[in-house]
Amino acid sequence: MIDTTVYNRLAVDLHLADALQFNPYYPDVQSRKPGKVKIGDRWLIDCASNDYLGLAADSALKKNYADTISRYGVSLCGTPIAAGGNRLLKEMEARIAQFTGCEDAMTFPSCYQANVSLFRTLCTKEDVILIDHYAHASLAEGAKATGCRIMPFLHNDCDYLEKLLKRPRPKGCVFVVTESVFSTEGALAPFDGIYTLCERYGAVPVIDDSHGIGVIGTGGAGVLSHFGIHRYEGIYTASLGKALANSGGIIGGGKNCITALKYRCPGSMYSTAVPPAVAAGVLHVLDRLQNEYQSLRDTLRKNVDGINAVIDAKGFQRAAGAAPIISMKCGSIENTLRCARAFFNNGMVVTPFIEPSVPPGKGVVRIIPGAGVAADECREAVSRLDNGWREN
Amino acid sequence: MTLEEKVIEVIRKNSETVETVPSDADLVKKVGVDSFGMIMIVNAIEDMFSITVEEGDIAAIRTVDDITRLLRTKYGITE
């Protein structure tokens, strides 16, 4: 007899979603066009996706996918080290390295997988990982899986980090791990200061730029450009499925590091390669950013500023992050879900973050009004939001 | 400053959000300390008292009272 009691460990309490008759997670998306998403029979303003520049449903990008698929097929059905390797992937990796300011880069099916695989491949038990308290789950899980000592530092606190770096050095290496843009609040890491500390104390910086690439830096080049860091000697990771409007993730770094990871990192070697159409799609977006970035970025900023003005006028609280992410403070799990439901009823999809993604009682609704959404529709949807979601 | 006050101060200094810490409150369930937060607290206590807390002891910590009890009984720290 199969022991099915094991599944009881995974029980999820959905009573609140049932009581509210609203579950924002795993939406039933049926179609998508720039700035809009169809859920059920309703077209809604899409402020839940990370399509910052509004390119993911763009007709030219879709045609690029179709053309590439007609040449290569949907998938090469192989790992990048074997049958999945292809010219487009190599070209995309070289371009993305150049774009972000890294010497070389390699691709993964997702940035989550890149982050988890990176630490498991690179770290030994004699190393120490200093990690921002609020770093993304993929970085935390990757660090925990190494078995080496983990020392978190207070969120974005360089003084705290320096105290840890001043401790006696371990036998192995010291890694300093953070994100460029923290996606639940829109705060930027003080990565210039962190990088300086890494240089001063001989540590290895690891920066996840998933919400920075295509959003900050000159031409959308990301965090290294934003902080004017040249000849970066650390490790860089990023998602290709956010502002770059495709899917997959990358690790960037020095040539020696990337070559070694290509032959040693199971998360890449044993995963089906990112399809050629995705590689071509990223190349297409990078080409377009050369001419269109500033205009798209200005639209994104204008959308954010417009919604922020309405939120402030209505007296709602929001985090004061510098990135184009609106994080509306809701508090309890109940209020956060009610707020997301109110937005949904007003024709707008947003992302509610509840514990454990945020500290208890610190729930937020995240709004990303990408360059593809209509600013007036967004402001209208927010302006119709009343206080009804605040029930406790 | 009593041992309990010192521990509470460590918890507050090693958290972005914690403001009040009742000595008998469950740090995870009631105060909102997560797994990384607990590591920061233990690291800071180790530094403050020049001790190394064993992993098994960390897993047993639920409250401020647990920490002060551990410091008194296992490490002879009373203040």
List the single residue in B with minimal CA-CA distance to A359. B32
Between chains, do B16 and A152 touch, taking CB under 8 Å as contact?
Answer: no
**Chosen from B10, B16, B19 to mutate, greatest number of chain A CBs within 10 A:** B16
Question: 3-class SS at A273?
Answer: coil
Between chains, do A133 and B40 touch, taking CB under 8 Å as contact?
Answer: yes
Angstrom distance (rounded) from CA B79 to CA B68? 9
b/e sequence A144-173, b meaning 16+ C-beta within 10 Å: bebebbbbbbbbbebebbbebbeeeeeeeb
pLDDT for position A392: 58
Output the tens digit of pLDDT for each of chain A's 392 residues: 999 888 888 888 888 888 889 999 999 999 999 999 999 999 999 999 999 999 999 999 999 999 999 999 999 999 999 999 999 999 999 999 999 999 999 999 999 999 999 999 999 999 999 999 999 999 999 999 999 999 999 999 999 999 999 998 899 999 999 999 999 999 999 999 999 999 999 999 999 999 999 999 999 999 999 999 999 999 999 999 999 999 999 999 999 999 999 999 999 999 999 999 999 999 999 999 999 999 999 999 999 999 999 999 999 999 988 999 999 999 999 999 999 999 999 999 999 999 888 888 889 999 999 999 999 999 999 999 988 888 75
- Cα angle for residues A197, A198, A202 (degrees, 5° grid): 120
B63: tokens are 């409250």
Between chains, do A154 and B40 touch, taking CB under 8 Å as contact?
Answer: yes
Between chains, do B17 and A154 touch, taking CB under 8 Å as contact?
Answer: no
> Which one of B17, B32, B36 has the shortest CB-CB distance to A152?
B36
Angstrom distance (rounded) from CA A241 to CA A245? 5
Angstrom distance (rounded) from CA B64 to CA B3? 10
Taking contacts as CB-CB distances below 8 angstroms, the residues of chain A near B14 are 154
pTM for this structure? 0.95
Reported as type and span, the H/E element at residue A333 is helix A333-345
Prior bond of A168 cis (ω within 30°): no
Between chains, do A152 and B32 touch, taking CB under 8 Å as contact?
Answer: no
pLDDT tens digits for B10-47? 999 999 988 888 888 899 888 889 999 999 999 999 99
**Chosen from A133, A141, A163 to mutate, greatest number of chain B CBs within 10 A:** A133
Between chains, do A151 and B37 touch, taking CB under 8 Å as contact?
Answer: no
Between chains, do A152 and B39 touch, taking CB under 8 Å as contact?
Answer: yes
